[in-house]
Amino acid sequence: MYDVTTWRHSTDRAVTCYTDIGAVINDIIADIKKRQPKQSSKPGAVIHIPPGDYPLKTRVTVDVSYLTIRGDGHGFTSSSIRYNAGDTSGWHEIWPGGSRIRVENTDGENEAFLVARGGEPRLSSVVFDNFCLDGISFTPHQNSYENGKVGIRVDTANDAFRIERMGFVYLEHALIVRDADALSVHGNFIAECGSCVELIGSGQASKVTDNHIGAGYIGYSILAEGHQGLLIAGNNIFPRGKSLIHLRDTNRSSITANRLHGFYPGMLDTDGVNKENLVSGNHFRREPEPWGPMQPYDNGKDDLYGVIHLRGDGNMVTGNLFAYDVPPDKIKPSGARPAMIRVAGGFNNHVSNNSVVSNVPVNAVVLDESTQGTKVIDSATAAQFVSHATDYTFRATP
């Protein structure tokens, strides 16, 4: 059990958590390794971050298993609202709080935390719990979502990690995890970041559940790349997000019981080939950007792209409700009929029992020419269905 506020740096007593919490945590990790030298007993430790404001100048490198870094408050507040609010001199407070790390690397690195280790076995059971990673500001302006900063990057294969109850704000990338096995991302508040959760490389048997997540117009709220058996469930995913959920070469995963609210087409987007995923019981709310400061921006996609843009084989899209409300003059291209579910490629997708509510006539389901064997059942009236393909099955919603 280590406390960053009482730890005395092993070599430089001028370094404290109030000058550089990154250097302090690295020094603690070195102490853990020194105290747990035996292969046969390395239980790890807890590094505790009490409530406070802590600058991080040096990237932390986590290369031990069973390490929990735990704070006492996710500390989210909206920096975006404040930066766009004008005079805030009369405000009670102006920054996020809780156990708050100000990500201010002066070491030439981008990450607050890098988790990586070579050799065997993979790192296991590293936990980030209940503190705040604050990127502080964007450049060149506060609505860019850009500053190059990464909250946590896990860069080698890993097992049974947990990221839970954290707060992330004003980072270009909140959380990047490469090659995850049985990862749990649960109960976090990840907002006003360029991208929020990026699961890259490969992965299996992981879950992203019960989070509040909302990325910027430049990035992903949730990206899954090369995953199998990922469960994305019970999340409240709010704007903006270039895409809210993005699958890339991801198979046999579930997107279920989520609430999604987006300002652009491609709320659920895909690339590569994505097979046998289940998209069920989700609520898709699409409306235009209502907030002046962000109205100059979008993700560059038009309404023919689809609220769901699906590429891949054997996916099932069922039991979803689409609530679309975009004024005709904001629909792109002008005069187009917006697509809700666009099957852009692949074989044997199954689209059944979906419902659409819209302020304008829409195409509930659109099949691209290259698609084959799609079944569209009770998901579009005859007037709401367009197929550019010849090989498909359609039963109209009565």
Find the binding residues for a second copy in span 349-368 (CB under 8 A). 350, 352-353, 355, 357
Q: Does 52 bind a second copy (CB under 8 A)?
A: yes
Give Cα 210 to chain centroid, integer Å: 12
Should residue 384 be labelled a site residue for a second copy when binding is judged by CB under 8 A?
no
Nearest CA among 385, 374, 380 for reference residue 397: 380
How many other C-beta atoms can be found within 10 angstroms of the C-beta atom of residue 196? 31
Q: Is 388 in the site for a second copy (CB under 8 A)?
A: no
The piece of 69-77, 136-144, 303-311, 337-345 that touches a second copy (CB under 8 A) is: 69-77
Please give the size of the binding site for a second copy, defined by CB under 8 A. Answer: 114
Which residues, 6 or more positions from 74, have their beta carbon under 8 angstroms from its beta carbon?
A: 98, 130, 131, 132, 165, 166, 167, 188, 189
Which residue, 11 or 204, has its beta carbon nearer to a second copy? 204
* Dist. CA 167–CA 75, nearest whole Å: 6
DSSP symbol at 11: S
Question: Per CB under 8 A, does 50 bind a second copy?
Answer: yes
Interactions with a second copy, residue window 258-297 (CB under 8 A): 258-259, 261, 275-278, 280-283, 285
Q: Which is nearer to a second copy, 182 or 360 (CB)?
A: 182
Q: Which is closer to a second copy, CB of 109 or CB of 347? A: 347
Q: Site residues for a second copy, window 235-254 (CB under 8 A)?
A: 235-236, 238, 252-254
Q: Which residues contact 373 (CB under 8 A, 6 or more apart)?
A: 347, 348, 349, 391, 392, 393
Nearest-approach distance from CB 96 to a second copy, in angstroms = 8
Q: Between 146 and 378, whose beta carbon lies closer to a second copy? A: 378
**Which residue lies nearer to a second copy by CB, 110 or 236?**
236
- Which residue among 9, 19, 46, 271 contacts a second copy (CB under 8 A)? 46
Q: Minimum CB separation from a second copy for residue 70, in Å?
A: 8
What is the 3 state secondary structure string of 61-73? EECCCCEEEEECC
Using the rule CB under 8 A, is 395 a contact of a second copy? yes
* Binding-site member from 157, 205, 218, 336 for a second copy (CB under 8 A): 205
Cα separation, 295 vs 312, in Å, equals: 32
User: Among 236, 216, 233, which Cα is nearest to 78's?
Assistant: 216
For 109-124, b where at least 16 C-beta lie within 10 A, e where not — what string?
A: bbbbbbbbbeeeebbe
How many Cβ atoms from other residues are within 10 Å of residue 249's Cβ? 17
Structure token pair of residue 232: 């994305």
Task: Write out the DSSP string of 370-393.
Answer: T-BSEEEESSS-GGGEEES-SSEE
Residue list 317-336, contact with a second copy (CB under 8 A):
318-321, 323
- Is the bond leading into 342 cis (omega within 30 degrees of zero)? no
- Candidate list 16, 26, 58, 65; residue touching a second copy; CB under 8 A: 65
Q: According to the binding rule CB under 8 A, does residue 158 interact with a second copy?
A: no
Min separation Cβ 149 and a second copy, Å: 20
DSSP symbols for 277-319: -EEES-EEEE-----GGGTT---S--TTS-SEEEEEES-EEES
Minimum Å gap between C-beta 253 and a second copy is 7
For a second copy, the binding residue among 59, 173, 207, 311 (CB under 8 A) is: 207
Residue number with CB closer to a second copy (9 or 95): 95
- Distance (Å, rounded) from C-alpha 77 to C-alpha 170? 10
Examine residue 82 and tell whether it contacts a second copy (CB under 8 A): yes
The answer to whether 390 contacts a second copy (rule: CB under 8 A) is no
- Is the Cβ of residue 332 or residue 375 nearer to a second copy in the bound state? 375
Nearer to a second copy, 19 or 68 (CB): 68
Q: What are phi and psi of 293, to 5 degrees?
A: -60, -25
In which residue are the tokens 């409240």 written? 236
Q: Which stretch binds a second copy (CB under 8 A): 135-143, 194-202, 230-238, 242-250?
A: 230-238
- Could you say whether residue 59 binds a second copy (CB under 8 A)? no
Which residue in 148, 201, 229, 288 binds a second copy (CB under 8 A)? 229
Show contacts with a second copy in window 111-150 (CB under 8 A): 117, 119-121, 124-125, 127
